[in-house]
Amino acid sequence: MTDFAVKGWCPGALRPMVSGDGLVLRIRPRLAELTADQMRGIAEAALVHGNGIVELTARANVQLRGVTEASHAPLLAALDRLGLLDPDAQSESHRNVVLTPFWHGAEVEKLARDLYAALRKGPDLPGKFGFALDLGPERLLAGTSADIRIEAGRKGLILRADGAVGGQAVSAAEAVPLALEMAEWFLATGGAPGGRGRMAAHLARAVLPFDASQAPAPLAPTPVPGPRGDGCLIGFEFGILRAEVLAALADLAPMARVTPWRMLWLNCPSVAAQPGLITAGDDPRLRVFACTGAPGCPQALQATRGLARRLAPEVPVGKVLHVSGCGKGCAHPGRADLTLSATPRGFALLPQGRAGELGPVLAPADITFETLRKAL
């Protein structure tokens, strides 16, 4: 028996989700980009209509928290003036696309906009079903949740179903129409019973009728804060920043891109270290993942971030600690070197595990540095 309810969908701006601190509203920036004016506008909206907290998600989206039923409508009006709203909730939910934040060139932009347009008119896919455009010389989004991937192959562009080892060679003109064909196949072959389902799980029981012979490009390590291209990456503890910090960043760079690593790429050479920012690639907080936890999430069984913050300095370089408030594992859906999964009595210790699995349970106060060292 699970200790949580699986919603089967992600919040949006037009369809927010109820949480322990009010409504959670998610903004999906087109092309992963925010202009300086949009950053300032989001910051102001978070302060006026929410609780001033801005979150970066693992799908390269921006979340505002503490929104009320009364403040939702004026918040939507503010986001609409910033050009950050879709025409309706269905269009918003269909535009579930992650781009590598380091993209450049008119061809990539056209591919993304063509995909947006096709999805707006496309099939009604499960709420968590998504697409990735991973078009650099090395793949950066392999660890990011997506079901259909248009990505770099070793010999050119490929279309790959998540869970398949290889993909089909495609041209830029073919990529979007074939991606939609793949989505239609997923639905037609029973990939979404009851309106829920993911591609990788479906491939375990269905034969993919698309070519999967083309090898994808090599994997790149997950980027860390520091200079990158003609800009710089900056991180935030648990992907959270205050609205005032976001507004201050808008004064430093004309544009930002939202990443699926809960960081921002700023179009400026560097950002000075200051409270609330992670600017060094060896910061131990980058090795720790934690969801909102109790009391902010009504499904959480324990507080999470205080424990994660306390343990972070002892997480070895190259290791990952995940502290989850329930069995869903929203902050880190896959396995971690050590997962602490909340139960009513404390946290299950799960070396090389994922949230929701069974293991010995300790009270939060009994989880010490020594506990961590032994488990890792």
Average pLDDT rounded to a whole number, residues 347-365: 95
Using the predicted structure, report yes or no on whether residue 114 has a pLDDT greater than 50: yes
Domain residue limits, the chain:
1-94+240-257, 103-203, 284-375
The per-residue pLDDT for range 234-268, each reduced to its tens digit, is 999 999 999 999 999 999 999 999 999 999 999 99
Using the predicted structure, report yes or no on whether residue 67 has a pLDDT greater than 50: yes
Q: Which residue has the tokens 């591919």?
A: 111
In angstroms, how far is CA 7 from the centroid of its own chain? 16
> Quick one: pLDDT band at residue 7, thresholds 50, 70, 90?
low
Higher pLDDT, 279 or 3: 279
Question: Which residues of 154-273 form beta strands (DSSP E)?
Answer: 156-161, 168-169, 226-228, 231-235, 240-242, 255-258, 263-266
> Quick one: pLDDT band at residue 15, thresholds 50, 70, 90?
very high
Ranges 41-45, 182-186, 311-315: which has the least confidence? 311-315
% of the chain with per-residue pLDDT over 70: 98
Using the predicted structure, report yes or no on whether residue 2 has a pLDDT greater than 50: no
Fold of 284-375: Sulfite Reductase Hemoprotein; domain 1 (3.30.413)
pLDDT of residue 9: 59
Beta strands at 288-290 and 321-324: parallel, antiparallel or unpaired: parallel
Contact yes or no for 24/63 (Cβ under 8 A): yes
Ranges 4-8, 137-141, 256-260: which has the least confidence? 4-8
Judging by beta carbons within 10 Å of its beta carbon (0-12, 13-18, 19+), is residue 165 exposed, middle or buried? Answer: exposed
Average pLDDT rounded to a whole number, residues 268-280: 88
pLDDT of residue 272: 86
Using the predicted structure, report yes or no on whether residue 74 has a pLDDT greater than 50: yes
pLDDT of residue 309: 94
Using the predicted structure, report yes or no on whether residue 374 has a pLDDT greater than 70: yes
| Residue 320, token pair as written in the block | 């990952």
**Span 1-94+240-257: which CATH code?**
3.90.480.10
